[in-house]
Structure 1
Amino acid sequence: MKKLNRNLLFVSTLSVAVGVLGACSAGTPVKQEAGAQAPAVNQKKEPVKITMLNVFYEAEAPKKDNPILLKVQEHTNTELTITWVPSSAYNDKVATMMAANDLPKVLMVTNDKDPLLRNSIRSGMFWELGPYLKSYPNLGSKLEKAQLSNSSVDGKTFGLYRTRDLARRALIYRQDWMENLGMKEPQNLDEVYNLLKAFTFNDPDRNGKDDTIGLVDYKGLDKATSVAGWFGAPNAWSAEGTPDFATDAYMNMLNFYKKLYDEKILNQDFGIMEESQKHDSFMKGKAGAKLHILGDLQDIGKFDPMFKLFPTAKIDAISRFSGNDGNRSIAESGYTGIFLIPKTTVKTEEELKQILTYFDKLLDKDMQNLLVHGVEGVEYKVVDGKAERLKPEDPTNRRVGWELGLYRGDAIPKAVMRAEEAKANKMLLDNEKVAVVNPFAPLDSATYLEKGAKLQKGIDDAKIKFIMGVIDDKGWKAAIEQWRKDGGDKMIEEYKAEYAKLKK
């Protein structure tokens, strides 16, 4: 399972002025003086004002007159007043607001598994949204069950999630190197090994030097669970309460990695390498493959510096193999952050419904096109049902779209799409059909909250030691037994009990 950092509570706090959509009714007739003008009917109501705090990652925060924000307000009849906080200061800002109970009307939280936040949810600080969603045409039909489950607390929906692809893990590799060697795309893990070995020893870049490795990874080894999944391991936990690292399939993954390490097909400094260095090694043409996500193909433009450095370079990806084990994809949460609505600032059900109306309208197709492509007629035009860009994509507008948006599946496709992106989009859809989810993802364990990070560190350290040959099979089993004694068995009991309640 992912490590829980108790000190990081990433929160985007939306100050949003949410208007009531729909016309005013005529209401009770008003008695008038003779000749007086009748009151106007169907008059548009004034926008409802709400405050918002949100995070930004670009060099400059979005301005009030940002075209995306203006269009959102126009469509939803809202007045958005957003305070954008840079990512470097965001944690402190959120922590301060939480401690002071100075919350906005919409609170976006990026780490919804934080124990302090979950305790606040259980204490009744936020509205439970689940019972209301079915009353809204978009919220009731477009939100995915898996993501709603993964982001739930005690089986209840308190937040609206910001979607991301559910099953996006992949082996990213140099297609041009493979073609230089006269090889084909691997169909199983044995062929993956052969390809990585050839990347290491057969001069795949044709520079006449022994200066390449097959696979680059870093000390976190977080994407190695993809390989364990191809061997048949569960996603973090099995429904019976077995952690993935205690399975034979996970052991097969460790042996696979150890073989790569022993034969110097895997970078020998992986145990001390940072994740950014892993990607840098691939970008600079030192490594032929890395385990990452299909977003690399979707955002293929980020490899343009590599393509400039190596004009013949081509990138491809593998995310699943044929067979009972390989034909599966380890799923992630399927979302990145959730929007919560505090009861301390949204005191009435009427106001809650106004805010939910805003989110529902944000899921209209016109809004999805706006958040994905920008302003129609300015940034793109529609040609044969597709978005054709009129000018280069604005990174600030794109970021605003990501931070505000929920679901993006109804946006029209791009008219011009690089081949890698088109392939990745199809792979992501196919992967959802064979996605292996973590059955315990929405659950809590008191032992995990108290000791989970420390216990996981013991397993992570043992994993690196095993791959490097510092410990053997017995040492690995001893690490698992220590994990059990130090709280792992108690954690299993707690998760199984919570899972049983959830299934009732």
Structure 2
Amino acid sequence: MMRNKRGFMVCLVSLLALSVLFTGCSNNGKGASDPSSGNEQEVNALTEISMLSIFYQKEPPTKDNVILKEVEKRTNTKLDITWVTPNNFSEKVNVTLASGDLPDLMLVTDTSNAAFRNMAKQGAFWDLTDMIKEYPNLMRFPDVTFTNNTIEGKLYGVPRVRPTEGNAQPLIRTDWLEKLNLSMPKTTDDLYQVMKAFKENAPDGQKDTVGLSGYVNQSDMGQFGFIQSAFTGASGKYKVQDDKLVDTTFDPEMRNSLEWFHKAFEEKLIPQDFALLKHDQAKDLMYAGKAGIFPDKPNQIPGMLKEIKASGQESADLEWQSSLTGAYGPYASKGNGHFGMFVISKKTSEEKVKKLLQFLDYGASDEGHELANYGIEGVDFTLDNGQYTLTEQALNDPSFQFMQNIFMKYDKYANLGTGITSGKLKIEQGLIDEAGEVSIPEPISGLISETGSQMGSDYNKKIQDMKTKVMMGKSSLEDWDQFTETLKADATYMKILKEYNEAYLERESAAK
């Protein structure tokens, strides 16, 4: 566990050597480690770090949490972390930004936040563009992770790195496929036929089975987004066509996707209350054996199988679909390489900034990653031939893996998660590699439209509201056609596309 402490120990040794050099003649021969010299206290002084971070676990850790204490011990820090749930996090960030009373490290998940970007431009945060280059573990992040977090070419925080492959794509009950003598679907048409077979032939014996479980959000297609993207060939709302951005709202394949979903709704292949479902409720249909497909990351497979088998379906098995082919060819979602970043207030001294970067650099090391993901060996996990197995203590800890929200290293296969058998792991890694060959990034990631920042969410809600109505048959495809024509005639709406194009072309030109 000491393999990544070498740099830190070298630093300590250097400080001790300097201490001897400058104090050896004045302390009557006392060495630097002599407590009475005062130097040991200076060298070993804890760095106090206040922090605002998100947490996705059932509970945040207590202040005496063993893993939290171990983090402090290994990084020589004293941590004061304010943990906030996802439901309230954006509001908390906005309130904190407005107050001006910022912690040492603050997570900003929405780096397109207008208030945050304005404060960055005005010098509220440290520009880390050059400083971060001194920290080797952080510099292992892929280039896209940094590019998508810059503001006018400057990096105002440490990105929370994420793998670009292994995103929310269909998880399919392969035991059902085998039972019905079906192959893994490759196209949107194939997927529809599998959904229909799952519904009509009810492999689980339940008459109320749906083929695909999912939901929509107020402003996007939610868990159905991947299938829509397979139709449009785009990650998100915009895609590159003839070296410029186009809005997929106007793409003929967007209309075709709505027709596909409406047909699935009419034939009851998707939940009839999909517009009201939340994430957990939609996933519960899979747990209960009432759905055969649910789009999510492959790291959900072990936990989902555990829940499904607990309901009596012992032969259950799941597989992640690496891509889906639509009119524009094979499609897989490519992530933007991050989920926000930790910013450092400009009020923080440069000396402390280096301590904070050292702290996050440790978190991006192999050792820091292991501690955040698996805890302490012998207590939280066992390691056998490179395979981690979590103990019951870890599995039953409602706050376990809380440090994942802060400590992150880049790992191409990180979205596979834990608990996958070695044989299955190789298969899953192969699927990740396959996805990487066809995955498409979101072209506007890291770009800003001022009009979009002000009005975009309102338009997105209107667009999704119309999509939902068409899916449920409350509005027709002809109504959709009229709606999109209205958008094309809306100068404010079209200005958003114009501004994104200007930002995109400027970035592309700078990269050449």
> TM-score, length-normalised on structure 2?
0.83
Distance in 2 of aligned mates of 1:371 and 1:396: 14
Indicate whether 1:154 and 2:136 are aligned.
Answer: no
Q: Give the structure 1 partner of residue 335 of structure 2.
A: 332
**1:128-207 alignment, distance < 5 Å:** 128-140=127-139, 142-167=140-165, 168-205=167-204, 207=205
- Is this contact kept in 2: 1:379–1:389, CA < 8 A? yes
Distance in 2 of aligned mates of 1:195 and 1:105: 51
Indicate whether 1:376 and 2:377 are aligned.
Answer: yes
**1:204-353 alignment, distance < 5 Å:** 204-205=203-204, 207=205, 210-220=207-217, 221-235=221-235, 236-239=237-240, 240-297=244-301, 300-309=302-311, 310-321=313-324, 325-344=328-347, 346=348, 348-353=349-354
Letter of the 2:231 partner, please give it: F
Q: CA offsets per residue over residues 64-117 of structure 1, 9 Å max, x none? A: 332322322232232223344556665565444333211111111233332222
Q: 1:467 and 1:46, CA in 2 relative to 1: closer, same or farther beyond 3 A?
A: same
The total of aligned residue pairs comes to 479
Q: Give the structure 1 partner of residue 451 of structure 2.
A: 447
Distance in 1 of aligned mates of 2:281 and 2:412: 36
Greater Cα offset, 385-394 or 477-486? 385-394
Over the aligned positions, Cα root-mean-square deviation in angstroms equals 3.2
- Is this contact kept in 2: 1:21–1:357, CA < 8 A? no
Question: Aligned with 2:273: secondary structure?
Answer: coil
Question: Aligned with 1:165: secondary structure?
Answer: coil
Question: Aligned with 1:398: secondary structure?
Answer: coil
Greater Cα offset, 193-202 or 105-114? 105-114
Distance in 2 of aligned mates of 1:410 and 1:478: 43
Question: Aligned with 1:241: secondary structure?
Answer: strand
Q: Give the structure 2 partner of residue 69 of structure 1.
A: 68
Q: 1:304 and 1:94, CA in 2 relative to 1: closer, same or farther beyond 3 A?
A: same
Q: CA offsets per residue over residues 105-153 of structure 1, 9 Å max, x none? A: 111123333222222222211112122222222122x112222222332
Gaps of 5+ in 1: 1-17
- Is this contact kept in 2: 1:163–1:408, CA < 8 A? yes
Distance in 2 of aligned mates of 1:420 and 1:384: 15
Distance in 1 of aligned mates of 2:10 and 2:103: 19
Indicate whether 1:468 and 2:460 are aligned.
Answer: no
**1:13-52 alignment, distance < 5 Å:** 21-23=11-13, 24=15, 25-26=17-18, 29-30=22-23, 32=25, 36-40=28-32, 44-52=43-51
Q: 1:84 and 1:19, CA in 2 relative to 1: closer, same or farther beyond 3 A?
A: farther
- Is this contact kept in 2: 1:459–1:483, CA < 8 A? no
Q: 1:36 and 1:490, CA in 2 relative to 1: closer, same or farther beyond 3 A?
A: same
2:500 to 479, 491, 495: 495
Question: Aligned with 1:238: secondary structure?
Answer: strand
Percent of residue pairs bearing the same amino acid type:
26
How much has 1:500 moved relative to structure 2?
A: 2.1
Q: 1:19 and 1:60, CA in 2 relative to 1: closer, same or farther beyond 3 A?
A: farther
- Is this contact kept in 1: 2:161–2:338, CA < 8 A? yes
Distance in 2 of aligned mates of 1:124 and 1:331: 32
Letter of the 2:216 partner, please give it: K
Letter of the 1:359 partner, please give it: L
Query: Which structure is higher in helix share?
Result: 2
How much has 1:495 moved relative to structure 2?
A: 0.9
Q: 1:391 and 1:468, CA in 2 relative to 1: closer, same or farther beyond 3 A?
A: closer
Gaps of 5+ in 2: 1-7, 34-38
Indicate whether 1:405 and 2:407 are aligned.
Answer: yes
- Is this contact kept in 2: 1:174–1:316, CA < 8 A? yes
Q: 1:290 and 1:411, CA in 2 relative to 1: closer, same or farther beyond 3 A?
A: closer
How much has 1:479 moved relative to structure 2?
A: 1.6
Letter of the 1:374 partner, please give it: G
Greater Cα offset, 420-429 or 454-463? 420-429
- Is this contact kept in 2: 1:380–1:390, CA < 8 A? yes
- Is this contact kept in 1: 2:173–2:316, CA < 8 A? yes
Indicate whether 1:104 and 2:109 are aligned.
Answer: no
Letter of the 1:227 partner, please give it: I
Q: 1:455 and 1:95, CA in 2 relative to 1: closer, same or farther beyond 3 A?
A: closer
How much has 1:212 moved relative to structure 2?
A: 1.9
Distance in 1 of aligned mates of 2:267 and 2:54: 44
- Is this contact kept in 2: 1:261–1:267, CA < 8 A? yes
